[in-house]
Amino acid sequence: MSESTDHERMAAVARGDLGSMSEIYRNRHRALFRFFFRLTGRQATAEDLVHEVFLRMIRYRHTYRGENSDGGFEAWMYRIARNALTDHARKNRHETAAEEGVVEAVESMRPTPFETTAKRQDLALLHRALRELPDEKRELLVLTRFQNLTYEQIGVILGCGAGTVKTRVFRAMKELSGIYLELCKEKAS
């Protein structure tokens, strides 16, 4: 699943070959789901938002400019994703996030039951700490740490420079670390 391959497929979609969208969906829907789930904490919402992104990609295919402009395909796709999330948040202000203990399953190499329980508790604390961050900081961490976007791509998505993104990520990580440590202290007492 290379950036240039999905770029070529999206360019074909922009020219009217809507069949190419199915391969883009196969390549990108899991990453988009994880992005939305980590930001919303709700599986159904994440699934709905993934579908909304692909509908918008088809609807706004004429706005796709290519891999060398505005951060490429991935940045274009995540700008659409952010807009879908923003629109959803406006419409559903009263929706609640997932319970504290409900976290995304993480694949591992057959851990022991003790390791599994400890990992779940740590992930639950980390998930809770992430949920306590302000939305803009949580979004930055999801884009960098979970979606593996570069600072340059995120800068294009957010409309700022890569240096600004790097500074914001550093501050968000520092704040997340502080929240996580406080939660660990609460758990220990």
Q: How much is the pLDDT for 120?
A: 76
Q: With residue 62 as reference, give the H or E element that holds it.
A: none
- Answer whether residue 103 shows pLDDT above 60: no
Q: What is the pTM of this model?
A: 0.63
Looking at the structure, tell me whether residues 119 and 55 fall in a common domain. no
In a domain, 98, yes or no: no
Question: Which domain covers residue 27, as residue numbers?
Answer: 1-93
In a domain, 84, yes or no: yes
Q: How much is the pLDDT for 102?
A: 46
Looking at the structure, tell me whether residues 4 and 75 fall in a common domain. yes
Q: What is the pLDDT of residues 30-45, one digit of tens each?
A: 999 999 999 988 899 9
In a domain, 61, yes or no: yes
Structural domain count of the chain:
2
CATH number for the domain harbouring residue 67: 1.10.1740.10
Q: With residue 97 as reference, give the H or E element that holds it.
A: none
In a domain, 22, yes or no: yes
In a domain, 100, yes or no: no
Q: How much is the pLDDT for 1?
A: 47
Q: With residue 189 as reference, give the H or E element that holds it.
A: none
Looking at the structure, tell me whether residues 2 and 80 fall in a common domain. yes
Looking at the structure, tell me whether residues 67 and 4 fall in a common domain. yes
Looking at the structure, tell me whether residues 14 and 89 fall in a common domain. yes
| Candidate from 2-16, 76-90, 151-165 with smallest mean pLDDT | 2-16
Q: How much is the pLDDT for 100?
A: 47
Q: Cβ distance 153 to 71 under 8 Å? A: yes
